[in-house]
Amino acid sequence: MTLRDPRSPSVVVLLADGARPDTLAAAVDAGELPAIASMRREGSSHTITSVFPSVTGPAYTPFLHGRHPGPIGLPALRWFDRARKTRSWPHGARSYVGIGGLSIDDDVAPHADTIFTHSGGNVGSLACFNRGLLPSERLGRSAGFLLSLLGTHLRGDVARWHQIDRELGDEAAHRIARDCTPFAFCAFTGPDKSSHADGHDAPSVRAALRTVDDTVAALRADAERAGRWDRMHLWIVSDHGHSPVHQHEDLAQVVADWGPRVLAHPWVYGRRPDVAVMVSGNAMAHLYVGLADRPRARLGWPALTAKWQWMAERLLDRPSVDLLLLPIDAQGCEIRTRTRGTARVSAANGRYSYHPIDGDPLGIGEQHALDAQDAWDVTSSSDYPDALVQLAALAATPRAGDLVISAARDWDLRSRWEPIPHRSTHGALLREHMLVPLVTNHPIARRPLRTVDVMPSALSALGLPVPDGLDGQSFY
Ligand SMILES: [Zn+2]
């Protein structure tokens, strides 16, 4: 238990997983979320960008590690470890869905600590990342609770996910009031589960958001009673958006039908696979090729051209593929599209460039040596918000696939094995997936751009130094 001066500042981040900014705004406008409506009125409300891949797990690293996911070791929710340095068995296939989620901290670079390490006291609830979080600070950590989470996942039990949100929201509010906790991060998975099942603007999603609103109301009532509301910074965020999916491509089967032995979840035990198809969200995928040669590092393009150009061409023929990304080296990647041509993204010394080769896949025109702010501005109203920074970050990770797909609108890349039927999807670089809300209870000093801005802002709000190497900027 943390005993501290109740006049000290505190930060509470409530993450409404998968909530789109327009879904949240519509529910507030309709009077369904009165506590969040008061926050919006008295504080501020913004639309900011998440990361690519726009999927839970990797998309939590901005909030807790203050970093884009790829460069600290998490290229996606499912990926393949060519180096075979992680603990996975037998082939290096990684998935953080279900029980695999327990090992996500082990795959993050050792030097990447979390805000939990710095804050001086925490509450963490369904945080995905628990480095620096004491067992006593973690809600729902008992073996029985984790088993019930696994059962809820396997059954695709959306109603039970909503109930878990209510239980953990109540417990978090109680703990924060009792202990005057400096930092709290509480994720609510109901909005995402209901969005997958019913669509992003369904009544069930609004019901899940009411649980977040109830938690805001409880936190505010407690803080006002204790005279701490002025010094409590309460923020509502999300990690990714959603969009309707009408067509499911069974990408692993498509590639297998072309001849290679394919490794894909959930069955990752086949002999001597040649290609790993790792889908996340499910609107993005990493493909790792030439595995029979047991590569330990990414070769990059154009070195792969002679042997694998055919696969790039056949993938581009699929209507499910919007952007085909071919990592070249740690500095950049090529973007290919079926009808909008080819371009190259590169980054050096924190500057981002975009060179159309033929056509303009991102629709932003040639760009040269932009800083992170300008790179955000030039893409923010495009179909691919923050594409330059996100593609550069993904190209920089040695764990990225040899071919990376961002799916077309209306499509995802997995047609079987989902406990909850997917009527809505995410994971891609599309704006419906990349744009997320940020609502604050007090006015802020600077316009926030990205979810990576949240951690340095939280440290600033707590009066703590912001360590070097974070990817965002404080909005205080
Ligand atoms: Zn989801």
CA 193–ligand 1 middle distance (angstroms): 6
Rg (CA), the chain: 21
CA 82–ligand 1 middle distance (angstroms): 26
* Distance, C-alpha 419 to centroid of its chain: 20
User: Residues 238, 289: one domain?
Assistant: no
User: Residues 18, 155: one domain?
Assistant: yes
Q: Is 474 helix (H, G, I), strand (E, B) or coil?
A: coil
User: Residues 55, 184: one domain?
Assistant: yes
CA 219–ligand 1 middle distance (angstroms): 27
CA 268–ligand 1 middle distance (angstroms): 22
Tell me the whole-structure pTM to 2 decimals.
0.96
CA 349–ligand 1 middle distance (angstroms): 34
Tokens (6 digits) for 10? 């505190």
Q: Identify which of 107, 139, 134 has the alpha carbon closest to the alpha carbon of residue 121.
A: 134
Whole-angstrom Cα distance, residue 52 to residue 393?
A: 9
CA 281–ligand 1 middle distance (angstroms): 6
- Which residue bears the tokens 């923020």? 235
CA 426–ligand 1 middle distance (angstroms): 7
The verdict on residue 468 lying in a domain is no
User: Residues 187, 330: one domain?
Assistant: no
CA 323–ligand 1 middle distance (angstroms): 20
Of the candidates 399, 424, 449, which is a domain's last residue?
A: 424
Q: What tens-digit pLDDT sequence spans the chain (476 residues)? A: 445 777 799 999 999 999 999 999 999 999 999 999 999 999 999 999 999 999 999 999 999 999 999 999 999 999 999 888 776 666 788 999 888 888 899 999 999 999 999 999 999 999 999 999 999 999 988 888 888 888 888 888 999 999 999 999 999 999 999 999 999 999 999 999 999 999 999 999 999 999 999 999 999 999 999 999 999 999 999 999 999 999 999 999 999 999 999 999 888 877 789 999 999 989 999 999 999 888 888 888 999 999 999 999 999 999 999 999 999 998 999 999 999 999 999 999 999 999 999 999 999 999 999 999 999 999 999 999 999 999 999 988 999 999 999 999 999 999 877 777 789 999 999 999 999 999 999 999 999 999 999 999 999 999 999 999 999 999 98
The verdict on residue 331 lying in a domain is yes
CA 55–ligand 1 middle distance (angstroms): 7
User: Residues 17, 125: one domain?
Assistant: yes
Amino acid at 258: W
The verdict on residue 254 lying in a domain is yes
Whole-angstrom Cα distance, residue 429 to residue 407?
A: 8
Tokens (6 digits) for 288? 């790792």
CA 109–ligand 1 middle distance (angstroms): 24
Q: CATH no. for residue 41?
A: 3.40.720.10
Q: What are phi and psi of 72, to 5 degrees?
A: -100, 15
The verdict on residue 83 lying in a domain is no
User: Residues 27, 133: one domain?
Assistant: yes
CA 39–ligand 1 middle distance (angstroms): 26
User: Residues 300, 336: one domain?
Assistant: yes
User: Residues 387, 440: one domain?
Assistant: no
CA 6–ligand 1 middle distance (angstroms): 37
Of the candidates 395, 424, 453, which is a domain's last residue?
A: 424
User: Residues 24, 139: one domain?
Assistant: yes
Domain count, the chain: 2
User: Residues 29, 166: one domain?
Assistant: yes
User: Residues 213, 346: one domain?
Assistant: no
The verdict on residue 4 lying in a domain is no
User: Residues 43, 57: one domain?
Assistant: yes
The verdict on residue 98 lying in a domain is no
The verdict on residue 439 lying in a domain is yes
The verdict on residue 94 lying in a domain is no
CA 395–ligand 1 middle distance (angstroms): 23
User: Which residues form the domain of 288?
Assistant: 244-424
Of the candidates 424, 439, 470, which is a domain's last residue?
A: 424
